[in-house]
Structure 1
């Protein structure tokens, strides 16, 4: 079984690319996921200049990749569900490099701010009308 669920904050803005010939969208970004540390252990690690979070590379494909690139920015809280994918490549200096990424099947936008989506200067950050399968509801319609 290969299933990953993460909640964390983006460490950089997503990078969007399109695969030549197919035109398939792919977005990549890094996610900082806090380690589950006690307050004392966290302070101890910070004092020794050790990381208190894990940094995970995320890959998203298709329409979700475009949505991530258009609506997510560094620092935003997101939930990711997907699978681990490992690989390798040869660097320019001839050494073999190994990679481990999470290929996201679902990206949940857990936090929205006042920043505007890229390329739309008249839209507010809470206007999600062009997101696939997103339908805003009135809070009065929620049964609890």
Structure 2
């Protein structure tokens, strides 16, 4: 995720966190989300520690997804590079744009 603010003259920075999604949430993410796509995740943060093969202590901060949603508009998902979500028969969530409303 890009940081909202950066110092003048500095390059924008982004943070990346591993997201763990289990069961139906994981299946939904696998079937419909693509690299670089904006998504909204509801879940919890988890820290884990372990010792690697060399005996060094390692720590990771992960996000455990409980819910996942599209954050791009539906129109943004169909770009010139041909992106389309896989159609696996599962129902996905697309936010409704004002111009999509019938009234």
| TM-score (normalizing by structure 2) | 0.71
Contiguous gaps of at least 5 residues in structure 1: 1-32, 118-122
Deviation at 1:116, TM superposition (A): 4.4
Write out aligned runs for 1:86-105 (5 A): 86-105=47-66
Say yes or no: does 1:139 pair with 2:94: no
| TM-score (normalizing by structure 1) | 0.53
Count of equivalent residues = 92
Quick one: distance in 2 between partners of 1:78 and 1:90?
32
Structure (1/2) with the larger strand percentage = 1
Quick one: distance in 1 between partners of 2:20 and 2:39?
13
Q: Which runs of 4+ in 1 moved over 2 A?
A: 111-116
Matched residue, 2:4: 36
Deviation at 1:44, TM superposition (A): 2.1
Write out aligned runs for 1:4-23 (5 A): none
Contiguous gaps of at least 5 residues in structure 2: none
Deviation at 1:66, TM superposition (A): 0.8
